[in-house]
Amino acid sequence: MLTNYFKIALRTLVKFKGYTAINLVGLALGLTAGILIMLFVLDELSYDQFHAQGDRLYRVNTVFQKGETDKGDANETNGWPIGKKLEQDYPEVEAVMYSRNASFLLINHNDQRIRQNIHFATPEFFTLFSFPLVQGNKEQALTKPYAVVISESMQEKYFQGEAALNKTILVSDTLPLLVTGVMKDIPSNSHMQADMIISFATFQALEPGFSFDAGWGNINMRNYVLLKAGTHVEDFSAKIKNIYTQHVGEMLKQWGVTAYVELEPVKKLYLHTRAGNGMGPTGSIDRVYMLTGIAGFVILLACINFINLTTARSVYRSKEVGLRKVVGSTRKGLMAQFLSESLVMTVLALIISIAFIGLVLPTFNHLIGKSYHLQSLFNPVLAGGMVLLILIVALLAGYYPALVLSALRPAEVLKGKMQTSQRGVQLRRTLVVFQFVVSVVLVAGTLVVIDQLRYMQAQSLGFKKDQVVVLNTARARSAQADGHETLRNALTQLPEVQSITFTNALPGTSGWRGQVAYPEGMAGERSVSVEYMAVDDHYLETLGLTLIAGANFDKQKPMELTNGLILNETAVQAFGWNTAEEAIGQKIDSPSGQPAGEVIGVVKDYHNYGLQEKIGPVAMDYAPENSYLFAIQYETTDTQAFMDKLATQWKTLFPGYDFNYFFLDESFARQYEREQRLANVLFLFACITILIAVIGLLGLVSFMIVARTKEIGVRKIHGASTLSITKLLSKEFVMLVIVANLIAFPMVWYAAGSWLQRFAYHVPMRPLVLAATLAIAIVITLVVVSTQTIRAALSNPVESLRSE
């Protein structure tokens, strides 16, 4: 019997090809969008959930706070003694791990120096985290100096798949490391990514000045703690909060800040951290919430459409139902038939959506920066959700027409006396309004994001970023003792070069942020957190910065080179001086000695970072010895030929090192990648939502035209023109769209306004965006409705009245 139902269902779907195609495409599009988003959301939520002791595992952060109203500046790193103090003084702590980035080290392989993701870590690394070893002993692997654990991928790359255990790998030309373990590749859904883990004892051997007992002000060590089972985290957090005050309170008072320790659960770190993550990627819980909402609405709209079109189509089949009942079909049999058709449709839609996913997955991966594949759909939660959704949609779409039509009396149906429920019509109108509300919110939101992006990209930044190429020499050792100066001299001879500066900081590439400084003699009173930049005497010229008071660094004035500082306007204000001229000659001190000296110049404020951030205090110091970036202002119509010249000079002075460069404008623009991706994703799903809404509108238009067929015929007989009938039928739908816009506009105004407030510099909310959204919605509605209503208006009125 079931087989027969499904055969009839397939024949019926083939019979009504147009209706079937529209319904299938609408539901398949919704499922495609929803499945893709949920694939991303489930992946984001899976980060760091695989650690066996994850419920007791925390990262230790240091938070600097200036004043009680300050939210605090959270750092993922700590002073050197913090980890040991936690381990020694607090019985609640089971284990502590120390870690530090070591990506400045390069792997020597086949006469090349290769960059890998490398960290130093104490032996507790494999105790705290569930990263299994396939070779070696996890308790002993990181105990000795010059020991390293590598990933399986590294073993394949550098040892051609042979067992690497107890073999040597050379790092940075002079550092041989013994492979004491091989670990499985760290999963992509871990906030911590590494190809190599070098024993922390190696770091101690390389840095004899390091001490577990000193260096409270050296905030550059990561610590993770494993708490003992049963520890009350809130109580423990309160207990350890003031470690800094207890040990170096006077130092902090001098700095004019307070510092406290906080714990972040590793399981929540990827999505919720406010301290950043230098060991791997970070996500955004807000983005997860937003995309989950979009997925929910898109799937809901598609399901509503499917149900709407299915129930609207049932009007066409009332006589079929009447005939079936005349020849003996039972109500139960008819209900089973409709439910079978609905189930076949939903299963077909799911199959089509999987095909769609296969087509768009590469584009989707590019948009969100992931690498999903079709096998990712076999996630048990996702697969189970899809099956459940299909069953629910099939039931809802099939149950209503099955219930209503199977209850009809055959005689009335065959006489054409089936009446359209006004309540049903109102419900369909409400659903179309709801669909357009969601579409309007997404379209308007997309326009706001694009508007903000254009504003950020067009805003004057206060410096020159075009035709500036930057050479990164941080990991390159010159074949000559004075390699950097030799490179500068060689590049200066190139005709394309206009100016060169050697520095540690450029717009979009930070210097030493968070350096505490204050006017001389005012420690703790007017302390300011500044960004320290090591520059030379060509920095202002190369970047086109404007000097508004004082003078630039001058090699003819060696005292100024030694003690001079150049500030920006924001720093002048932060230190409490009223004008740039007043700042000249003032002296600045710093606990770290950087920055410290006399102010010799002030530059006009410029945007050192993207417009997400306010311009912060900057102090420039003449210190080429702390620099590693060559920024080259050039002028040429053949950039590739110029880059070839630079590469030739590089290979001469840094043989064996990859030519490491970037363009300043491209580097700065990467700060807007998240917003650009958001705009792309919103645009994609706004288009899908509009398409689904259009399909829903088609369904309602078709239903209303069927319901008013006789009315159209009567009007035509009485002389109504095609245009007047089209206007009559279109007016109602345009009003529905206007109502949807009026409902959506307050939501857009609030949500988009809240999003814009995250930017230090942003466009105002423009009524023009709402007007454009309304215009788009009305035009789409008129096009869709007109195609259907004109066809109805052109039909023969005799055919319209024949059923009477």
| Whole-angstrom distance, CA of residue 148 vs CA of residue 133 | 12
pLDDT of residue 8: 62
At 60-104, the pLDDT tens digits run: 999 988 766 667 788 999 999 999 999 999 999 999 999 999 988
Q: Which phi and psi (to 5°) does residue 147 adopt?
A: -110, 145
Mean pLDDT of 148-167: 94
Mean pLDDT of 715-726: 76
In sequence order, what are the residues at sequence separation of 6 or more whose Cβ sits closer than 8 angstroms to the Cβ of residue 142? 121, 122, 123, 125, 126, 149, 180, 181, 197, 199, 200, 201
Total residues found in the chain within this entry: 804
Q: At 376, is the pLDDT very low, low, confident or very high (cuts 50, 70, 90)?
A: confident
How many C-beta neighbours within 10 Å does residue 378 have?
8
More confident residue, 305 or 358: 358
Among 486-500, 652-666, 776-790, whose mean pLDDT is lowest?
A: 776-790
Are the C-beta atoms of residues 402 and 335 closer than 8 Å to each other?
Answer: yes
pLDDT of residue 745: 94
The alpha-carbon radius of gyration of the chain (Å, integer) is: 34
Among 288-302, 347-361, 495-509, whose mean pLDDT is lowest?
A: 288-302
Strand partners, 761: none
Q: Where are the domains of the chain?
A: 1-47+284-419, 54-272, 425-458+671-804, 468-670
Q: At 719, is the pLDDT very low, low, confident or very high (cuts 50, 70, 90)?
A: confident
Return the ∠ at Cα 468 (arms to 464 and 472), rounded to 5°.
Answer: 125
The residue type of 789 is T
Are the C-beta atoms of residues 27 and 305 closer than 8 Å to each other?
Answer: yes
Q: At 461, is the pLDDT very low, low, confident or very high (cuts 50, 70, 90)?
A: very high
pLDDT of residue 298: 86
Q: How much helix, strand and coil, in percent to the nearest 5, is found in the chain? A: 55, 15, 30
262: pLDDT strictly greater than 90: yes
pLDDT of residue 622: 95
| Whole-angstrom distance, CA of residue 324 vs CA of residue 337 | 11
Mean pLDDT of 637-647: 94
pLDDT of residue 625: 85
| Whole-angstrom distance, CA of residue 487 vs CA of residue 794 | 80
| Whole-angstrom distance, CA of residue 609 vs CA of residue 759 | 12
More confident residue, 275 or 711: 275
More confident residue, 4 or 288: 288
Q: Say what the pTM is.
A: 0.84
797: pLDDT strictly greater than 60: yes
At 13-35, the pLDDT tens digits run: 666 677 778 888 888 988 898 89
Per the omega criterion (within 30 degrees of 0), is the bond before 595 cis? yes
Residue from 407, 618, 441 nearest 531 by CA = 618
421: pLDDT strictly greater than 60: no
Residue from 709, 705, 517, 515 nearest 626 by CA = 515
428's enclosing H/E stretch is: helix 422-458
**Which of 434-448, 633-647, 772-786 has the highest mean predicted lDDT (pLDDT)?**
633-647
221: pLDDT strictly greater than 80: yes
151's enclosing H/E stretch is: strand 147-151
Exposed/middle/buried for residue 104 (C-beta within 10 Å: 0-12, 13-18, 19+): exposed
In sequence order, what are the residues at sequence separation of 6 or more whose Cβ sits closer than 8 angstroms to the Cβ of residue 394? 339, 342, 343, 345, 346, 347
Mean pLDDT of 505-515: 89
Among 322-331, 491-500, 638-647, 776-785, whose mean pLDDT is lowest?
A: 322-331
Q: Which DSSP category does 525 fall into?
A: T
Q: Strand 629-634's sheet: what is its strand order?
A: 497-503, 629-634, 468-472, 661-663
Mean pLDDT of 366-380: 86
787: pLDDT strictly greater than 90: no
The residue type of 687 is C
pLDDT of residue 340: 79
Instruction: Quote the tokens at residue 576.
Output: 């409490």
More confident residue, 434 or 798: 434
Instruction: Quote the tokens at residue 251.
Output: 């130092």
How many C-beta neighbours within 10 Å does residue 317 have?
17
Mean pLDDT of 375-404: 80
Mean pLDDT of 256-264: 91
pLDDT of residue 367: 83
Q: What is the DSSP string of 70-136?
A: ---EEES-B-TTHHHHHHHH-TTEEEEEEEEE-TT-EEEETTEEEE--EEEE-TTHHHHS---EEEE
At 723-745, the pLDDT tens digits run: 887 787 788 888 988 999 999 99
pLDDT of residue 674: 85
412: pLDDT strictly greater than 60: no
| Whole-angstrom distance, CA of residue 122 vs CA of residue 126 | 9
Question: What's the Cα-to-Cα distance from 716 to each of 669, 733, 796, rounded to whole Å?
Answer: 61, 21, 9
Mean pLDDT of 544-555: 95
